[in-house]
Structure 1
Amino acid sequence: MASGGGGAYGDGNQKIDYVFKVVLIGDSAVGKSQILARFARNEFSLDSKATIGVEFQTRTLVIEHKSVKAQIWDTAGQERYRAVTSAYYRGAVGAMLVYDITKRQSFDHIPRWLEELRGHADKNIVIILIGNKSDLEDQRAVPTEDAKEFAQKEGLFFLETSALEATNVETAFTTVLTEIFNIVNKKNISAGESQGNGNSAPLAGKKIVIPGPAQEIPAKSKMCCSS
């Protein structure tokens, strides 16, 4: 379990206001571990080895004057490790769905990963689709438009990144973490108004409700359940 270390990458003595668990998913060799290493330690290794099982790293950021510890979980994309799924997703409030822009198959598998994610995680989890290896433009096999269209249809954030060149990696994580932070803050304010200060503990895998699409659920259930 590695932590971010000192300076801009976190400080062991600071008070943590929130801990957010974010999971990285996608096929093997799309660069999930490299994205994590770039974000957590600002490192990139050309001879990265395949992740065995599950590992996680942390980094602390400040969002709107609050200290947010991101706990980023990385799993092997190989089929044989998929038995870890339910424990892996438990308590996750954010997910990064990663494919390799030079491998069409890794993008074609994204709907399956998304289905698995939605089957195991909280349905209001914040998800970003990431096309990694944008530095290999000359080998591109997945047009940006295809990914944009898919992300729009599924209601996901979307960015193309390069862990090698450190392009958009920081932005991808801060996008997800800021969105989670805003949701949790809204929830804490409304919980505080209705129940005093009963529900304002830092998020630890509790259900988070995103204003918007979630509000349609009662109407749908009324339609399906009234006879």
Structure 2
Amino acid sequence: MDTASSSSPAEFDYLFKLLMIGDSGVGKSTLLLSFTSNTFEDLSPTIGVDFKVKHVTMGGKKLKLAIWDTVYDVTRRETFTNLSDIWAKEIDLYSTNQDCIKMLVGNKVDKEDERVVSKKEGIDFAREYGCLFLECSAKTRVNVEQCFEELVLKILETPSLLAVGSAGVKRNIFKQKPPPPDGAATGGCCSS
């Protein structure tokens, strides 16, 4: 995945909306910061909603990723349990596209000695819920780029998520939101 620095940030082929969900304190904001700015900070829990934008080039396409920050922490069992009890139901309830791509991300693998959720448990959960799966560390940046790269490549392979038309068609990932104004062709998906 290359940063699209050679072109104007306003020029892109697709806009993908990625939603990061999970319990407070699992490292969603830190993972997002690690990906978008290649830095690590121990951040305070996000209050409300935050999002960041990153321009990348993949598969010969210029992409604008709008990543919303509302993952699980391998060192906290309850954050994994809440995936099925709370977050999977939220995705099913509010997603507007049944082809929405989901990725399960286990964060904080740099704390291996504190691990309470095994990689096998993560893999099994991902299979059951039809998710891509990766473990990463926002702190050491292990698999950070790969998380977003695998997700974006899967979106690019899913025609129903690539709304292309002469006027450009926008899609939302939430049912309760009104459609945005016309603009560039977009796809949408969820990331968990």
Q: TM-score interval w.r.t. the shorter chain? A: 0.7 to 0.9
Corresponding residue to 2:34 among 38, 41, 45:
38
1:181-202 C-alpha deviation (Å, 9 max, x unpaired):
12138966xxxxxxxxx83665
1:73 and 2:68 matched = yes
Q: Structure 2: how far apart are the matches of 1:49 and 1:174?
A: 26
Q: Structure 1: how far apart are the matches of 2:67 and 2:53?
A: 6
> Taking structure 1 as reference, are residues 153 and 200 closer, same or farther at Cα in structure 2, changes over 3 Å only?
farther
Q: Which has the larger radius of gyration?
A: 1
TM-score (norm 2): 0.81
Q: Structure 2: how far apart are the matches of 1:138 and 1:101?
A: 10
Cα deviation, residue 8, structure 1: 3.5
Give the corresponding residue for 1:102. Answer: 75
Q: Structure 2: how far apart are the matches of 1:9 and 1:187?
A: 19
Counting aligned pairs with the same residue, the percent is 35
TM-score (norm 1): 0.69
List structure 1 segments (4+ residues) > 6 angstroms apart after TM superposition. Answer: none
Q: Partner letter of residue 43 of structure 1?
A: T
1:55 and 2:55 matched = no
1:121-165 C-alpha deviation (Å, 9 max, x unpaired):
122210000110000000000011111111111110000010000
Q: Structure 2: how far apart are the matches of 1:200 and 1:206?
A: 19
Q: Structure 2: how far apart are the matches of 1:161 and 1:146?
A: 15
Corresponding residue to 2:23 among 16, 20, 27:
27
Q: Structure 2: how far apart are the matches of 1:205 and 1:102?
A: 36
Corresponding residue to 1:115 among 89, 98, 102:
89
* Cα root mean square deviation, aligned: 2.4
1:172 and 2:167 matched = no
> Taking structure 1 as reference, are residues 72 and 150 closer, same or farther at Cα in structure 2, changes over 3 Å only?
same
* Structure of higher RCO (CA pairs closer than 8 Å, 6+ residues apart): 2
Q: Structure 1: how far apart are the matches of 2:130 and 2:165?
A: 28
Q: Structure 2: how far apart are the matches of 1:117 and 1:186?
A: 16
Corresponding residue to 2:102 among 114, 127, 132:
127
Corresponding residue to 2:171 among 189, 197, 205:
205
Equivalenced residues, count = 171
Q: Structure 2: how far apart are the matches of 1:202 and 1:34?
A: 33
Q: Partner letter of residue 29 of structure 2?
A: S
Give the corresponding residue for 1:162. Answer: 137
Bigger fraction of residues in helix? 1
Cα deviation, residue 118, structure 1: 1.1
Q: Where does structure 1 lack aligned partners over 5 or more consecutive residues? A: 1-6, 76-97, 189-197, 209-227
Cα deviation, residue 10, structure 1: 4.3
Cα deviation, residue 204, structure 1: 2.5
Cα deviation, residue 205, structure 1: 1.5
- The answer (yes or no) to whether the contact 1:11–1:60 under 8 Å persists in 2 is no
